Amino acid sequence: MDELGFHRTLHRPGLLLDVGAHDGDFTRPFAALPGSRVLGFEPLPSAFARLEAAMAPCPAHVELRREALGDHAGHITLTLPVVAGIAQEQWASTAKGYAQHAGVAEQRHEVPLITLDSLGLTDLTHVKLDAEGAEYEVLRGAHETLTRCRPVLSVEIEERHRAGATYSVPAFLDALGYDAFWEWWGDWQPLASFDRDRMHRANPNPAVFEDPGDYVFVFYFLPREHTRDMLGRLRAAEGLE
């Protein structure tokens, strides 16, 4: 099951949040789910332009926003690495720069920054989060919302983007009453069983191409009060129960 399949399997009507919406690969299918409203965040100007074009005309139940999410309000630098003259948009990050890597140039964009909690959401049911190392700050700024709404979450977490992130992000969500899982070919396992040395190897330099093969970087979080039921539904969808 892929990341989108996770959200489809556990779908509940309400608001679905796409953080790091990029070209709309999640925003579009989220918008097609019954009873859904979608809020997509994409602070990179070039990606936001394509997102707007992909969603045009934007449905009334979809809202696209240019801000970055974090743990305070203001502005922040979004750094985009450029390799051989080609912008590596999938690496754009508010959490780090790339000047230390040989062969990598940088573009910097000052973008507005808000917290999710500032929006006062009351019906958030799903979160897809891909922030290239800034996941911890995004979640810190969503503390009240997560406590109130209890959405399910899929979070892309990579040590190459933020050292220690595969520990700090799950620990933060554990304190909020979330259980963490990873999935491999239909096998849903608790995070405690995850072998970082074997399944989480990648180079932090965007100029270096690697294909680790068994690399896992998407982790899933279920509200603890619903873990048993939701995990059962995921495994049933995989034909394991």
Q: Which of 90, 94, 104 is nearest to 46 (CA)?
A: 90
Q: Indicate if the pLDDT at residue 202 is higher than 90.
A: no
Query: How confident is residue 201, by pLDDT bands cut at 50, 70 and 90?
Result: confident
For residues 137-159, average pLDDT? 97
Q: What percent of the chain has pLDDT over 90?
A: 85
Angle, CA of 79, 23 and 170, to the nearest 5°: 65
Contact residues for 85 (Cβ-Cβ < 8 A; gap 6+)? none
Query: Which pLDDT band, with edges at 50, 70 and 90, does 9 fall under?
Result: very high
Residue 240 has pLDDT above 80, yes or no: no
Q: Which residue has the higher pLDDT, 144 or 186?
A: 144
Contacts of 73 (CB under 8 A, 6+ apart): 113, 114, 115, 118
For 92-120, what is the mean pLDDT?
Answer: 94
User: Where residue 198 falls among pLDDT bands split at 50, 70, 90?
Assistant: confident
What is the rounded distance in angstroms from the CA atom of residue 166 to the CA atom of residue 205? 19
d(CA 141, CA 111): 17
Looking at residue 8, what is its pLDDT?
A: 97
| Mean per-residue pLDDT, 126-130 | 98
Q: How far is CA 47 from the centre of its chain?
A: 16
Which amino acid is it at 127?
A: V
- Which architecture does CATH list for 3-73+113-237? 3-Layer(aba) Sandwich (3.40)
Choose among 148, 119, 115: nearest CA to 134.
Answer: 115
Only one residue has tokens 């873990």, namely: 227
Contact 63, 39 (CB under 8 A): yes
Asked if residue 18 has pLDDT above 60, the reply is yes
In the numeric block, which tokens belong to residue 51? 């997102």
**Residue 123 CB neighbour total at 10 angstroms:** 12
Q: Decide: 151 and 177 in contact? Cβ < 8 Å.
A: no
Is residue 118 predicted with pLDDT exceeding 70?
yes
What tens digit of pLDDT does each residue of 24-72 get? Answer: 999 999 999 999 999 999 999 999 999 999 999 999 999 999 999 999 9
Mean pLDDT throughout 96-123?
95
| CB-facing half-sphere around the CA of 158: CA atoms within 13 A | 21
